[in-house]
A and B are shown apart, each in its own frame.
Chain A
């Protein structure tokens, strides 16, 4: 295993009675782009602020490149950081902003301006050296922020919701720009966001946080395909949940019944007839068939609501016992509200309930 560049070890931070980080542990490998993902209040920002040294954890340790930095002041940690609100120095030009970390490190003027210009070329802003930050658009300001964070080649780049102040289209573009720059420099990066789309598109690995703890750690694909809990499944992508019960276990497979539907899945350890289970199905993994379709393991349902989303159709269908499912299809066949249809459930994940 590669060496950990960033490591949180049993980090705990309380605000009064509120626990922001509860024995949070995570290690980021060298050269990896790790995303801390979670809803607001999940502790991701607190963890980041402990890493930058703006907050001190109550207990636990933080390591950067193998050295403990828990008590080290911010300015000695040699970090690069991109801020949500850009946090550029308003009284300096673009060039001065980017050259600031080099000036602090007492680099000669000519040299630091050359390096700063190079960093700005990397983010395609070398035509704006003399501009004031407020003269630039949001996207340009954030690219200045990125150049400033990278200019002195820090070991670690931190990105704190860098795209949330930008409009949707720009966000999409900047995602790839950040990913490309980070990959090209081979720098270790930690990206904090509440936007699952960003997390999936950017990351080598995603760490999902909930209530101050690490909920699941994995590649974007693992997180999306095999969420470990209802929280992760709900947070990443769209999902339907059905309460079910184990009807029988046969070797490596078990049959689950829920809302008048019967599905066969891989048997979970501890599965026994009568155990309650939670079934989880992605809306885009439910084919819709017309009511006269003759197919085994298909189930009757009724279309309640149809929404046109451009590239997909979004249906709400109701099963026999009243449970509602959300279905998204790309097929050209349209169904209408009130129409009887049949659904197929080829891909069902489930967890046993306690």
Chain B
């Protein structure tokens, strides 16, 4: 009994060590796969049971860019991403306005319907989308792939913007009206600055979802609309692990850029800063 107590006390005393060990394992669990790929993409002659690659090289990146045609693929990904962001944010603003500002009958029901595409298994949904797109000649067009992505992005945009518009205080807009602002000025000086954080959040959400989207792209892409995730997947099939790893790392870069942007720019105070002194 006293032994168990002593043991427990020892654990209690060592709780910091225990805590850090747990945190570290958790971090490893998240980072390890990525670390693996990153090392693989710069390692040369890394075979067998070696702990670390014996030689470092950037050759695989050159190969990825030249053979994998990454600039073209990146361009496709960005074009599709931008179209998807524009469409889903547009839809999000309209639907969010309706959800957030109007008394809609059956609001919960409608919201559920909008979220439905996220509940259906992506491959099931993608098959249906592909079938329709073949009939409409939308396969292998930037617009087509983007529209397919919108089915994933729009629900997020609608959710975010509904909350934004719900949080918009009607009386503040009324106050602007009483102060003499017409509809246009009310929009530009009051409504827009207040919903800007929501719009930015919705755009970032939409872009990352479009950028990372795999299943829907796989069934609607063609030679002219290969995106980064699809290209990376195809490279796996080619059997060159090093080149695939390089592509995978390249793919992460824009995500990191966006993350940095969110941290630096997308703070509400900073957003509002652009409107100071009007």
Q: Which residues in A have some Cβ–Cβ distance to B below 8 Å?
A: 52-54, 73-81, 83, 85, 87-93, 96, 100-101, 103-105, 109, 148-149, 152, 158
> A100 and B189: CB pair below 8 A?
yes
Known contacts A81-B178, A89-B176, A104-B185; 5 further A-B pairs (Cβ under 8 A): A75-B185, A83-B175, A87-B169, A89-B175, A152-B180
Residue B90 is within 8 A (CB to CB) of chain A in the complex: no
> B172 and A74: CB pair below 8 A?
no
- Given A54-B174, A83-B175, A91-B275 in contact, is the A75-B194 Cβ separation under 8 Å? no
Residue B177 is within 8 A (CB to CB) of chain A in the complex: yes
Minimum Cβ distance to chain A for residue B190 (Å): 6
Contacts of A90 in B (CB 8 A): 172, 194
Contacts of A75 in B (CB 8 A): 177-182, 185-186
Task: Give the distance in Å from the alpha carbon of A118 to the alpha carbon of B182 in the complex.
Answer: 26
Closest CB pairs A-B (n = 6) = A87-B175, A74-B177, A101-B179, A91-B272, A87-B171, A81-B178
Task: Give the distance in Å from the alpha carbon of A152 to the alpha carbon of B186 in the complex.
Answer: 18
Residue B49 is within 8 A (CB to CB) of chain A in the complex: no
Task: Give the distance in Å from the alpha carbon of A109 to the alpha carbon of B278 in the complex.
Answer: 9
Q: List 22 A-B contacts (CB under 8 A).
A: A73-B177, A73-B182, A74-B174, A74-B177, A75-B177, A75-B180, A75-B181, A83-B174, A83-B175, A87-B172, A91-B193, A91-B275, A96-B276, A96-B278, A103-B278, A104-B179, A104-B180, A104-B185, A109-B277, A148-B175, A148-B179, A149-B178
Contacts of B189 in A (CB 8 A): 100, 103-104
Contacts of A77 in B (CB 8 A): 178
Size class of the contact patch on chain B: 20 to 34
- Given A90-B194, A91-B193 in contact, is the A105-B180 Cβ separation under 8 Å? yes
Minimum Cβ distance to chain A for residue B183 (Å): 8
Contacts of B186 in A (CB 8 A): 75
Task: Give the distance in Å from the alpha carbon of A79 to the alpha carbon of B176 in the complex.
Answer: 11
CB-contact partner of B178 in A80, A92, A93, A103, under 8 A: A80
Contacts of B174 in A (CB 8 A): 52, 54, 74, 83, 87
Please report which residues of chain B, range 166-221, place their CB below 8 angstroms from some CB of chain A when the two chains form the complex.
Answer: 169, 171-172, 174-182, 185-186, 189-190, 193-194
> A89 and B172: CB pair below 8 A?
yes
> A83 and B171: CB pair below 8 A?
yes
Q: Which residue on B lies nearest to A49, using beta carbons?
A: B174
Task: Give the distance in Å from the alpha carbon of A101 to the alpha carbon of B176 in the complex.
Answer: 8
CB 8 Å contact bits of B236-278 with A (1 = contact, 0 = none): 0000000000000000000000000000000000001001111
CB-contact partner of A100 in B176, B272, B277, under 8 A: B176
Q: Which of A90, A93, A158 has the most CB of B within 10 A?
A: A90
- Given A96-B276, A103-B278 in contact, is the A88-B178 Cβ separation under 8 Å? no
Please report which residues of chain B, range 45-80, place their CB below 8 angstroms from some CB of chain A when the two chains form the complex.
Answer: none
- Given A91-B193, A104-B185 in contact, is the A85-B171 Cβ separation under 8 Å? yes
Minimum Cβ distance to chain A for residue B8 (Å): 48
Q: Which of B174, B179, B180, B189 has the most CB of A within 10 A?
A: B179
Q: Which residue on A lies nearest to B193, using beta carbons?
A: A91
Task: Give the distance in Å from the alpha carbon of A332 to the alpha carbon of B179 in the complex.
Answer: 54
Minimum Cβ distance to chain B for residue A92 (Å): 8
Task: Give the distance in Å from the alpha carbon of A53 to the alpha carbon of B180 in the complex.
Answer: 12
Task: Give the distance in Å from the alpha carbon of A75 to the alpha carbon of B183 in the complex.
Answer: 9
Contacts of A80 in B (CB 8 A): 178
Q: Which residue on A lies nearest to B180, using beta carbons?
A: A104
Contacts of A96 in B (CB 8 A): 276-278
Task: Give the distance in Å from the alpha carbon of A100 to the alpha carbon of B176 in the complex.
Answer: 8
Minimum Cβ distance to chain B for residue A148 (Å): 7
Contacts of A52 in B (CB 8 A): 174, 177-178
- Given A83-B175, A89-B172 in contact, is the A101-B194 Cβ separation under 8 Å? no
Task: Give the distance in Å from the alpha carbon of A80 to the alpha carbon of B180 in the complex.
Answer: 9
Task: Give the distance in Å from the alpha carbon of A164 to the alpha carbon of B174 in the complex.
Answer: 19
Contacts of B171 in A (CB 8 A): 83, 85, 87
> A81 and B175: CB pair below 8 A?
yes
Contacts of A88 in B (CB 8 A): 172, 175
- Given A89-B172, A96-B276 in contact, is the A104-B178 Cβ separation under 8 Å? no
Contacts of B277 in A (CB 8 A): 96, 109
Task: Give the distance in Å from the alpha carbon of A302 to the alpha carbon of B275 in the complex.
Answer: 70
Task: Give the distance in Å from the alpha carbon of A223 to the alpha carbon of B214 in the complex.
Answer: 75
Minimum Cβ distance to chain B for residue A41 (Å): 19
Q: Which of A52, A74, A76, A88 has the most CB of B within 10 A?
A: A74
> B190 and A89: CB pair below 8 A?
yes
Q: Which residue on B lies nearest to A104, using beta carbons?
A: B180
Q: Which residue on A lies nearest to B173, using beta carbons?
A: A87
Contacts of B193 in A (CB 8 A): 91
Q: Which residue on B lies nearest to A77, using beta carbons?
A: B178
Task: Give the distance in Å from the alpha carbon of A54 to the alpha carbon of B185 in the complex.
Answer: 16
Contacts of A152 in B (CB 8 A): 180
Minimum Cβ distance to chain A for residue B195 (Å): 10
Contacts of B180 in A (CB 8 A): 75-76, 78, 101, 104-105, 152
Minimum Cβ distance to chain A for residue B215 (Å): 40
- Given A52-B174, A78-B180 in contact, is the A85-B169 Cβ separation under 8 Å? yes
